[in-house]
Every structure is written in C-alpha cells, then in structure tokens.
C-alpha cells in the first residue's frame, strides 16, 4: 500500500550501495545496510555487537529461547536470530524488526548477575559480569537476553554500558536526536517524503474528507464549514467542522466565544436511526451574552431535524486525566514489579492490588458511559451532545467508543484508523502533551488514549467475532504510542501539525506530486526529520505480522451500507413523538434533568428561554429517555435461552440481525478482563515452567484460512471472465517489491481503485495467491448473478452481505472501504505453507 515510488528507489539504491560495499570491505562496521546480518537503516551505525545471545520468547512468540546476535545501534537494540532469512536489499527499510526495541521505548536497563540484579544507568559501573540483560520498555514489554558463558566479559560489559548510555531516558531533546537517528538520513527523508498515504483511511484533514463521512452516514442536514480554516476561531479545532445546514457561518462565528477554547458543538457521527452525536466543550460564562447567542446555540444543537437534545456531561462519572495517569502508573508498577529491587507484589495480594490501581474501574466507567450514549442514540431522532470541560480527552474517548459499539465499520482496521483520525487527531487530543514525549511536562501526562485502547480491547474480548481487527492490531497501536516517531502522536492539534510542516519548508519536492500542497505532513528539513503517520505500518511491521492485524476471514454480519440514515423506516416503539420540539435534557449519573440554566449564562432568567421560544420544557419525555437507558440494563439479559443448556448442535452465524444494534459489554466485576497480552507480556515469573507451545496455528485460524481459500476458489469458479478483483492483482507478498514499484507508477489512482483487470495477468497472479490446487478459473462458466456489477465481484460480501440485491450498486466510497476490509484476505502468508 505505502511504498516509495520507483524514482526514489533508484536514488536510494545507487548511492548507499556503493558506499556500503566499500565500508564493509574495509572492515568498518558502520554505515552499511547489512552489517553482520543486521539490516541497518540508511545512516544507522552499529555501536556494539555480541554474538551467541539467547532471547527469551514470550508465550505469544511460542516461548523458549532463540539464539542470535545482539546489536546496539544509536537507534535501537536489535536482535537477529540465527538463520534468519536474508532480506532482499531492495526491500523498503523497516524501522524495527520483530525482535528489536527502539532505544526510545526502553525505560530501564537491568542486568542479572550471579545472585544479584542491578539497574544500569548511564553512569553506573558494574562490579560483576552480567549473565542476563533485561530491558524494561515503556510499552510494558520486558525483553530478556541471556549471554553465553564463552562470550568475553568485556564484550558483555561494553554492550550493557552502550545501551545504558545511549537510551538516555530523560534528557530533554533526546526525542529529537532519536528521531534523527531513525529518520534523519537523506535517504530516509527522501523515502518518507515519497510514501503515499493510505487511501483507505479517511484522514479527516480536508473538507472533502468530512463530506465523505457525512455522506457515508447519511447526515444530510449537516454541512462542512471552513470557518476555522485558518484556526482563527479555535486553535485546537480542526480546519473544518461540521455544523447544521441551517446555521450560517456568520451566525456560527458568534458562538465560538461562548465555549471553552472555542470548541463549539460539532457533529461527529449519525446513527442509522437518525440520531446525531455531537461534541462540545463547556460553556464560557464570563462573557456578555446576547439573546442571539442563545438562539445560535439552539440552532447549533437543534439545527437538524431532531427535537430532543441530551447533553451528556462527561466530567462527573469519568476519571480525570490525572486519575488515568495515576492508575496506569500503578498498573505498570504492579505488572512489571519494582524493577530496581526486583520486588513484585506477592501473588496472594495480586487481585486486591490490581483493584486498587482503579484502572479497571475507569475502564468500566468509560464503557458504561459509552453504553448509555449508544442506547440513547439507538432510540432514534435525538441529538446527544457530549460535553467535557476541554473536550479534548474523555470526549474523544467516549465519542469513539460509542461509534465502535454502534458502527461496524469502526471495527475494521481501516475504519478504526479513520475513527482515531476523526475523534482524536483531528479533534485535537493533546497526544504530545498527554504522552509527555519530550519529558518536559509531567503534570500534563495522561495516557487517555491508552485507556481508550484498553476499552476497545474489552469490547473486542467480549465480542471478538464482531471485529475485523484483532487484538494484535490493538497491541501494535499500543506499542506505537510509546515510540516518538509518528506525526499522529507528536502534536496536540491539527494546527500544530500544519505549522510544523509549513515551517519546515520543502527542500524535497514530492516526486509524485500527489499530495495536497497545503498539507505536506512529511516534508523534510535537514534539522528536523519528517515524521510518518503511525498508520504507515509497513515501516514497523513485516507483511506477515500486518496480516495478523485483521481476521483472515472477517466476520460477516449481514451489513448494509448506511443509506441516508434511513434504517429508521421501520416503526420504532421508542420514538418519542410526544416530546415538544427543542427540549434539552442533561444526563448525569443516570438521571435526566431539565436544566433551568443550561447554558449557564441564562441563570436567573430561565423563563426567557421558555417564553421567547414558546417551548414547554416538558418533563414528560424523561420517562421515555429513561426507558432507553433501561433497555440497556435489560439487554444485558440474554435474549435466548442459555445456549449452554441446550444441545450445542450446529449453530449458524449468530449475532443480531441488526448490524447497528450496539455491542453492549457486560460490566460486572467478573466480566472485566485484564489485557494480559499487553500488560503481562514480559512477566518473567509466568515462564517459570514454560514449554514451547505448538507451532501450528490455532484451529480457528486454520479454519479461517480454509474458508478464505474456498472463498477464493468460489470467486474464481463463479467469475466467467478471468478477471480477479483488483485487490488480488496487487501483489501482497514480501518478496514482491519490484512488482509493487511498478504498480506504483499508477500512483495517481488510489490503490483500491486501480483498474487492474484489463492489465494485470490475472490467471497467473491469482494462482499464486490462492490454493495451489485451485481449478483454472476459465473452466468455470456459471456466473453468479449479482456478482458482475462491480469489478470486485463477490469479494465485497463483507460489507454488502451475500444476498444484497444485485441492483444495489455500491457507491465508490463503500467500494473502497469494502476493498479495504477485504485486503487482509489476500495478504496472508503464502497459503501453501
């Protein structure tokens, strides 16, 4: 998907290659792409190397030990296993191998010697020779290397000192030097500036991105306003915001002053039953208000059809960012133990200590709040506005959780990435401050985004079959947050991102000219390396590992595209027609109130509101709203007789018929899990009696692959023309880079729209990708009706359902996403293996 263009490839290959060969021949162990088996980045220097090191493998990696060579460069600690396949020199640079740790992710370096353990700091000197080197990482990995007895002491000491001196945990500016080490070379800059962005992700940067989302959700009475185009109205909001059609920009402009940081109510998402989700900051009540202001606010809140608005205050029942920071700190300490003294919480106190971190409580509070909102939205025809003081932390979290619960698209990998772009990146979550990447503001540090990831994991854990993405993907996002390399996380708002890229200037013009000149997010400057977005996974993960980010065969609830928000055509018993138009309710602690003084500046003159607008503040609809919430608690009861009590005969695909029925998690104490795969990854005690587990894939995975192959065969057998879908024509194998580069000649078209069929040699290509025993496609004439419409054919079953009417022609936007959802199918490891 994202690759350098052909042109830059040549440049990159020519220059360093000559240099490298010379250097390695002269025996200098630096500045080459392949140093003693380590594939270096351009400009990366190997500082130390020790052979015959064994790495302890985690349960996920299959446990046991792996022998190989340990390296320390000025960018990472790398480990190259023995007999690891030699990588093609022409392959794109990968920042980190499967066994590598970036120096910036290391939190502590600990050595274990005979009968003792010592924390190694840049200044410490060791009085013993380490037998074991343990790296504690910020992302909660614990990586353990064992030195061989035959390795000279000096070598062991040197690499330990080198790592301790180079990782420099707290020095200001270390982030920048780390970034330079990784991305600062001319070759890397050029490489990055020619990366194409993933067209399957909605980046929510341009007006058209937002318009695309409005159209997808069928939110017709909303429009994209560019009133904040130059960040004059609100510095922390994005350039484009979505507001009601009815409200003019001039009216809108007056509203900004009444909200904290000018973060006025903006549209985020529309439920197919016609409810809209809005976000806003708290009201500014220390300025003078005119009558018009109130009218404007009402316009913004009620601008669209709905007659009822529920303001959900997020402050009260949810943790503050400081709480989150404290809780994660405790959780880390608990899971990793006190590193310096190697004292960990005694096993018999584990549960109560885990409870006292409050981490799980906070997750539950967030999920509960999101479930409430999801239930309100499901009721249909109302507006739910999430209000948070600053609207930059838990607003992001709750709003995106609600969409994950309600919108199946968000549960795909690309949909999730788009969601994060919309609700976190564009909405101005202060990633940079909250992550405290520069170690200069501890007060602001708060892993709100990590709390969100854990909430998503909980949902995934309870409903794995409703997700296309996997926990491995969540883990990859989690780990990337701790790597200060991505533009996604290294700015606090869109303005900062734009500023950075504009100030940097453009010394290298993008070769393909595809990028919008206004937003060169990865332009280069000798001083400041261009930062890639985190979603450019190829920089970090091999194709094999990326393939595991999604389920081999995505779960297929009968999804319909959101057609103009018209799912509400069937009668809805909870629709509240009796509500007088324009009522505002406040939801707090599970109860609804009609606030006399919302917005606060009308306090004392609440009558004005009623009179001037002739709207009765009816409390009659309160029971209706409460019924919506009650439906949630009832829905925790099973709809069917317990499946365990009946004979568990063959059961067809389960799941509600309505794909937009929200996923409401169980929130009882016993149902909240600890994300062991993340927090207990490195827990060494867990491996006391470890034993290598089966190398075979889990039977589910194997069955999934089988289904995948059948699908492919079916696609082949049923397509009369030898025209495999575009996605399969795109080479996905790691060794196919040359092909990929030639494909990239067509970079003007987003990958998934590439009109592959006429050009690609289809039969050969598809044969390679599908089962080796697949029948020749040409021999199968019988076409399946309805599959001929789009070039994707029945490849699009995932989003459109198998039985979607033939005439329902997919809109190209959905087609794109459908392609996205489908991609992983063909991206698995070679099937014959």
**Min CB(634)–other proteins separation in Å:** 4
Among 26, 779, 785, 803, binds other proteins (CB under 8 A): 779
Q: Which is nearer to other proteins, 618 or 635 (CB)?
A: 635
CA distances from 696 to 702, 735, 833 (A): 9, 23, 11
Among 287, 351, 563, 616, binds other proteins (CB under 8 A): 351
**Min CB(647)–other proteins separation in Å:** 4
Question: 3-state SS of the chain: helix, strand, coil percent to 5?
Answer: 40, 10, 45
Q: Which is nearer to other proteins, 27 or 647 (CB)?
A: 647
256 — phi, psi (to 5°)? -55, -40
Residue 669 burial class via C-beta count within 10 angstroms: exposed 0-12, middle 13-18, buried 19 and up:
exposed
Q: How far is CA 288 from the centre of its chain?
A: 42
Q: Of the ranges 392-400, 434-442, 472-480, 645-653, which one interacts with other proteins (CB under 8 A)?
A: 645-653
Distance in angstroms (rounded) separating the CA atoms of residues 314 and 395:
7
Q: Which is nearer to other proteins, 130 or 777 (CB)?
A: 777
Q: How far is CA 537 from the centre of its chain?
A: 11
Q: Of the ranges 175-183, 523-531, 721-729, 768-776, which one interacts with other proteins (CB under 8 A)?
A: 768-776
Number of residues in contact with other proteins, rule: CB under 8 A? 89
Distance in angstroms (rounded) separating the CA atoms of residues 512 and 492:
29
651-690 binders of other proteins (CB under 8 A): 651-654, 666, 668-671, 676, 680, 683, 685-690
Q: Of the ranges 47-55, 107-115, 302-310, 628-636, which one interacts with other proteins (CB under 8 A)?
A: 628-636
124 — phi, psi (to 5°)? -80, 155
Residue 694 burial class via C-beta count within 10 angstroms: exposed 0-12, middle 13-18, buried 19 and up:
exposed
Distance in angstroms (rounded) separating the CA atoms of residues 257 and 199:
36
Among 513, 641, 761, 785, binds other proteins (CB under 8 A): 641
**DSSP per residue over 364-390, as a string?**
HHHHHHHHHHHHHHHH-S-EEEEEESS
**Min CB(646)–other proteins separation in Å:** 6
**Min CB(831)–other proteins separation in Å:** 7
**Min CB(658)–other proteins separation in Å:** 10
**DSSP per residue over 383-428, as a string?**
EEEEEESSSSSHHHHHHHHHHHHH-GGGGSHHHHHHHHIIIIITTT
Query: Does residue 352 touch other proteins according to CB under 8 A?
Result: yes
686-715 binders of other proteins (CB under 8 A): 686-691, 693-694, 696, 698-700, 702-707, 709-711, 713-714
Among 36, 65, 128, 350, binds other proteins (CB under 8 A): 350
Tokens of 422: 């919309």
Query: Which of the 8 DSSP states describes residue 341?
Result: T
Among 62, 173, 315, 775, binds other proteins (CB under 8 A): 775
Q: How far is CA 206 from the centre of its chain?
A: 20
458-517 binders of other proteins (CB under 8 A): 461-465
> Max Cα separation, the chain?
89
Residues linked to residue 118 through DSSP beta bridges, in sequence order = 111
**Min CB(359)–other proteins separation in Å:** 11
Contact present, 29 and 135 (Cβ < 8 Å): no
- SS3 category, 52: strand
Query: Does residue 640 touch other proteins according to CB under 8 A?
Result: yes
**Min CB(619)–other proteins separation in Å:** 22
Among 115, 250, 577, 645, binds other proteins (CB under 8 A): 645
Query: Does residue 643 touch other proteins according to CB under 8 A?
Result: yes
Q: Which is nearer to other proteins, 81 or 783 (CB)?
A: 783
Q: Which is nearer to other proteins, 556 or 799 (CB)?
A: 556
Query: Does residue 717 touch other proteins according to CB under 8 A?
Result: yes
443-462 binders of other proteins (CB under 8 A): 461-462
**Min CB(457)–other proteins separation in Å:** 13
129-148 binders of other proteins (CB under 8 A): none
Distance in angstroms (rounded) separating the CA atoms of residues 354 and 265:
38
**Min CB(628)–other proteins separation in Å:** 9
Question: How many CB atoms sit inside 10 A of residue 355's CB?
Answer: 12
Q: Of the ranges 286-294, 522-530, 558-566, 770-778, which one interacts with other proteins (CB under 8 A)?
A: 770-778
Among 347, 442, 516, 807, binds other proteins (CB under 8 A): 347
571-590 binders of other proteins (CB under 8 A): 572-574
Residues linked to residue 588 through DSSP beta bridges, in sequence order = 591
**Min CB(306)–other proteins separation in Å:** 18
Tokens of 435: 């992550």
Query: Does residue 647 touch other proteins according to CB under 8 A?
Result: yes
Among 114, 604, 649, 761, binds other proteins (CB under 8 A): 649
**Min CB(642)–other proteins separation in Å:** 4
Q: Which is nearer to other proteins, 243 or 363 (CB)?
A: 363
Contact present, 667 and 364 (Cβ < 8 Å): yes
Scored b (16 or more CB within 10 A) or e, 673-691 reads ebbebbbbbbbbeebeebe
Query: Which of the 8 DSSP states describes residue 707?
Result: H
Radius of gyration of the chain (CA): 28
Among 773, 803, 805, 807, binds other proteins (CB under 8 A): 773
Q: Of the ranges 33-41, 126-134, 629-637, 804-812, which one interacts with other proteins (CB under 8 A)?
A: 629-637
Query: Does residue 60 touch other proteins according to CB under 8 A?
Result: no
521-560 binders of other proteins (CB under 8 A): 553, 555-556
CA distances from 576 to 145, 257, 623, 639 (A): 63, 33, 10, 24
User: Sign of torsion, CA 40 44 50 53?
Assistant: negative
Query: Does residue 25 touch other proteins according to CB under 8 A?
Result: no
CA distances from 366 to 316, 369, 385, 461, 631 (A): 11, 5, 16, 16, 19
Query: Does residue 767 touch other proteins according to CB under 8 A?
Result: no
Distance in angstroms (rounded) separating the CA atoms of residues 296 and 255:
7
Residue carrying the six token digits 């998907």: 1
173-202 binders of other proteins (CB under 8 A): none
Binding mask 370-389 toward other proteins (x if CB under 8 A, else -) reads --------x-----------
Distance in angstroms (rounded) separating the CA atoms of residues 157 and 171:
23
Question: How many CB atoms sit inside 10 A of residue 380's CB?
Answer: 20
**Min CB(469)–other proteins separation in Å:** 14
Q: Which is nearer to other proteins, 481 or 717 (CB)?
A: 717
Q: Of the ranges 44-52, 298-306, 325-333, 633-641, which one interacts with other proteins (CB under 8 A)?
A: 633-641
814-833 binders of other proteins (CB under 8 A): 831-832
User: 636-642 long-range contacts, Cβ below 8 Å, gap at least 24?
Assistant: 636/664, 636/666
Q: Which is nearer to other proteins, 158 or 361 (CB)?
A: 361
Residues linked to residue 385 through DSSP beta bridges, in sequence order = 278, 311
Q: Of the ranges 65-73, 346-354, 409-417, 503-511, which one interacts with other proteins (CB under 8 A)?
A: 346-354
């Amino acid at each position: 998907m994202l690759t350098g263009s052909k042109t830059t490839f040549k440049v990159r290959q020519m220059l360093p290659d000559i240099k490298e060969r010379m250097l390695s021949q002269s025996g200098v162990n630096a500045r080459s792409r392949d140093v003693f088996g380590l594939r270096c980045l351009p400009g990366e220097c190997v500082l130390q190397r020790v052979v015959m090191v064994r790495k302890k493998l985690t349960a996920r990696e299959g446990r046991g030990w792996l022998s190989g060579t340990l390296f320390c460069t000025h960018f990472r600690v790398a480990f190259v296993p023995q007999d690891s396949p030699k990588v093609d020199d022409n392959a794109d640079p990968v920042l980190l191998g499967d066994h590598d740790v970036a120096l910036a992710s290391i939190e502590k370096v600990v050595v274990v010697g005979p009968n003792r353990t010592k924390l190694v700091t840049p200044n410490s000197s060791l009085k013993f020779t380490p037998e074991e080197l343990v790296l504690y990482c910020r992302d909660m990995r614990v990586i353990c290397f064992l030195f061989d007895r035959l390795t000279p002491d000096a070598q062991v000491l040197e690499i330990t000192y080198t790592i301790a001196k180079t990782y420099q945990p707290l020095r200001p500016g270390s982030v920048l030097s780390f970034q330079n080490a990784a991305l600062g070379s001319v070759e890397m800059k050029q490489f990055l500036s020619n990366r194409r962005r993933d067209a399957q992700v909605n980046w929510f940067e341009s007006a058209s991105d937002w318009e695309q989302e409005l159209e997808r959700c069928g939110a017709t009475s909303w429009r994209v306003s560019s009133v904040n185009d130059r960040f004059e109205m609100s510095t922390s909001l994005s350039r484009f915001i979505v507001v009601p059609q009815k409200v003019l920009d001039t009216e809108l402009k007056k509203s900004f002053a009444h909200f904290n940081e000018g973060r006025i109510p903006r549209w985020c998402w529309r439920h197919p039953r016609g409810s809209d989700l809005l976000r806003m900051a708290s009201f500014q009540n220390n300025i003078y208000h005119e009558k018009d202001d109130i009218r404007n606010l009402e316009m913004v809140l009620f601008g669209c059809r709905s007659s009822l608005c529920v303001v959900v205050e997020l402050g009260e029942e949810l943790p503050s960012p400081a709480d989150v920071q404290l809780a994660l700190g405790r959780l880390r300490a608990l899971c990793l133990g006190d590193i310096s003294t190697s004292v960990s919480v005694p096993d018999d106190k584990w549960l109560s200590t885990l409870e006292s971190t409050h981490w799980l409580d906070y997750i539950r509070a967030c999920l509960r709040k999101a479930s409430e909102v999801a239930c309100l939205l499901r009721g249909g025809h109302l507006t739910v506005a999430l209000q948070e003081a600053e609207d930059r932390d838990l607003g992001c979290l709750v709003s995106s959780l609600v969409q994950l619960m309600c919108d199946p698209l968000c549960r795909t990998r690309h949909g999730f990435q788009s969601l994060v772009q919309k609700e976190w990146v564009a909405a101005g979550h202060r990633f940079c401050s909250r992550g405290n990447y520069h170690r200069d503001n501890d007060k602001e540090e708060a892993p709100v985004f990590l709390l969100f990831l854990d909430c998503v994991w909980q949902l995934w854990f309870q409903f794995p079959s409703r997700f296309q993405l996997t926990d491995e993907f969540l883990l990859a996002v989690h780990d990337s947050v701790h790597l200060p390399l991505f533009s996604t996380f290294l700015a606090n708002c869109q303005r900062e991102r734009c500023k950075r890229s504009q100030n940097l200037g453009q010394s290298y013009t993008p070769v393909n000219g595809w990028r919008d000149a206004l937003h060169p997010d990865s332009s280069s400057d000798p001083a400041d390396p261009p930062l890639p977005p985190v979603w450019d996974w190829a920089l970090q993960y091999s194709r094999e590992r990326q393939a595991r980010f999604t389920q081999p065969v995505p779960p297929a609830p009968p999804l319909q595209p959101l057609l103009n928000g018209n799912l509400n055509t069937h009668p809805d018993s909870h629709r509240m027609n009796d509500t007088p138009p324009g009522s505002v309710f406040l939801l707090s602690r599970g109860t609804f109130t009609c606030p006399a003084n919302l917005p606060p500046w009308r306090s004392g003159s609440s009558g004005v509101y009623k009179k001037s607008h002739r709207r009765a503040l009816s409390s009659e609809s309160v029971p209706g709203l409460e019924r919506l919430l009650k439906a949630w608690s009832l829905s925790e009861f099973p709809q069917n007789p317990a499946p365990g009590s009946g004979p568990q005969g063959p059961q067809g695909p389960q799941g509600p018929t309505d794909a937009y029925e929200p996923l409401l998690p169980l929130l009882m104490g016993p149902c909240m899990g600890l994300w062991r795969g993340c927090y207990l990854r490195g827990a060494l005690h867990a491996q006391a009696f470890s034993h290598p587990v089966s190398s075979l894939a889990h039977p589910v995975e194997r069955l999934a692959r089988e289904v995948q192959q059948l699908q492919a065969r079916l696609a082949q057998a049923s397509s009369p023309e030898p025209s495999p879908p575009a996605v399969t024509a795109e080479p996905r194998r790691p060794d196919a880079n040359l092909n990929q580069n030639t494909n990239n000649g067509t970079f003007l078209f987003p990958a998934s729209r590439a009109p592959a069929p006429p050009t690609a040699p289809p039969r050969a290509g598809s044969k390679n990708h599908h089962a080796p025993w697949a029948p020749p496609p040409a021999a199968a004439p019988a076409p399946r009706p309805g599959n001929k419409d789009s070039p994707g054919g029945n490849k699009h079953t995932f989003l459109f359902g198998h039985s979607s009417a033939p005439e329902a022609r997919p809109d190209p936007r959905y087609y794109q996403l459908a392609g996205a959802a489908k991609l992983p199918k063909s991206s698995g490891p070679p099937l014959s293996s």
